[in-house]
Amino acid sequence: MRIFVTGGAGYIGSICVEELLNAGHQVTVFDNLTEGHRSAIDPRADFAQGDLLDPQGLQAALRAAGAEAVMHFAANALVGESMSNPTKYFRNNVTGGMHLLEAMNECGVKKIVFSSTCATFGTPERVPIDETLPQRPINPYGESKLIFEQMLRWYDEIHGIKSVALRYFNAAGASARFGEDHRIETHLIPNVLKVALGQKPNVSIFGTDYETPDGTCVRDYIHILDLAQAHMLALGREASAKYNLGTGGGTSVREIITACERVTGRKIEVLEQPRRSGDPARLIASSERIHSELGWAPKFQAIDPIIESAWAWHLRHPNGYGD
């Protein structure tokens, strides 16, 4: 298929593009390069530099790509930043997303796979989190993604655009070529690996008094290649759907740090800090629905191989993409 990938120069987008190309699809990456990196774009893909907030440019790029489907990764995705600058999140994630749906409608593109998030659930009543739990975001980032999920319903009912929303839990790891390099790095695993590389003296542990076995937050880390595989399967689904996407396993912050010490063979100094605002104690996915409906199952369950792939990439790219 010919696929138009917004945010294809970012961490998750770049690796999904690589997997799409490996599977024989044709890809046009659409990215404004504010968060993404030029060298994270697979050279086999076409590249259209542009912004979701420029509806004419967006529509022209989508038409020129001759796309049959869209994968929508482009978004701002920092929970903390969204709490201080909600406008940025609603403008880029909601208004920008609406321009994309409008452009799809104008160009007759009837399929979208959307990069959603477990942050649409807020603090869950129970874990694992399945699709029947209420979505009650606790920050503008999660809200902006939920609003887009809700818009998808109406673009299906009114314009027949079919969508699959994938709510990722904690994406982690790397492919052989592409990895995680955020301009502002807030995520746990890359920050721990920066300590292992000697680029930071220590890593903060945000909160040691959670109601979890070791007092630190528990997350469901899913390998980026498993996540990419789910996108591939989502392309083949005809009806609209929403799926939670994780391994169903939970790893605490301390367990991540210990695993990074094991994988890198280096000591990681830690600094115990107060809780970070907006962090739920435990986020674990139930991926039963995507398993039963699309046959998806993660190849990576244990945390060490996920960290090994991230470490291999960081060793080869100690300064990330260098831009």
**Residues of this chain that bind ligand UFG (CB under 6 A):** 77, 79, 117-119, 141, 170, 186-188, 191, 203-206, 217, 219, 253, 276, 279, 283
By beta-carbon proximity to ligand UFG, the closer residue of 17 and 119 is 119
Of 150 and 273, nearer to ligand UFG (C-beta) is: 273
Q: How far is the CB of 205 from ligand UFG (least distance, A)?
A: 5
Structure tokens at 186: 């807030």
Q: What is the CA radius of gyration of the chain?
A: 19
Strand, helix or coil at 5? strand
Is the CB of 48 or the CB of 222 nearer to ligand UFG? 222
**Catalytic-role residue among 11, 141, 155, 221:** 141
Residue 110 CB, nearest approach to ligand UFG (Å): 28
| Closer residue to ligand UFG in complex, CB, 141/178 | 141
What is the nearest approach in angstroms of ligand UFG to the Cβ of residue 187?
Answer: 4
* Other Cβ atoms within 10 Å of 241 Cβ, number: 17
- Up-side HSE of residue 231: CA atoms within 13 Å toward CB? 31
Give residue 14's Cα distance to chain centre: 11
- In terms of Cα–Cα distance, which of 62, 63, 9, 67 is closest to 35? 9
Strand partners, 116: 167
165's CB contacts (< 8 A; 6+ apart) are 114, 116, 149, 152, 241, 242, 243
Specify the amino acid at residue 131.
E
For ligand UFG, the closer CB: 28 or 117: 117
Q: Does residue 89 have an active-site annotation?
A: no
Q: How far is the CB of 137 from ligand UFG (least distance, A)?
A: 9
The CB-nearest residue to ligand UFG is 217
Minimum CB distance to ligand UFG, residue 24 (Å):
30
Which CB atom, from 49 or from 212, has the smaller least distance to ligand UFG? 212
Provide the minimum distance between the beta carbon of 140 and ligand UFG in the complex, in angstroms, as a whole number: 11
* ∠ CA 193-196-198, rounded to 5°: 115
- What are the Cα distances from residue 132, in Å, to 107, 127, 208, 309? 34, 12, 30, 33
Decide: helix, strand or coil at residue 128.
coil
Beta strands in 85-239 (DSSP E): 111-117, 162-168, 170-172, 203-206, 218-219, 221-223
The catalytic residues are 141
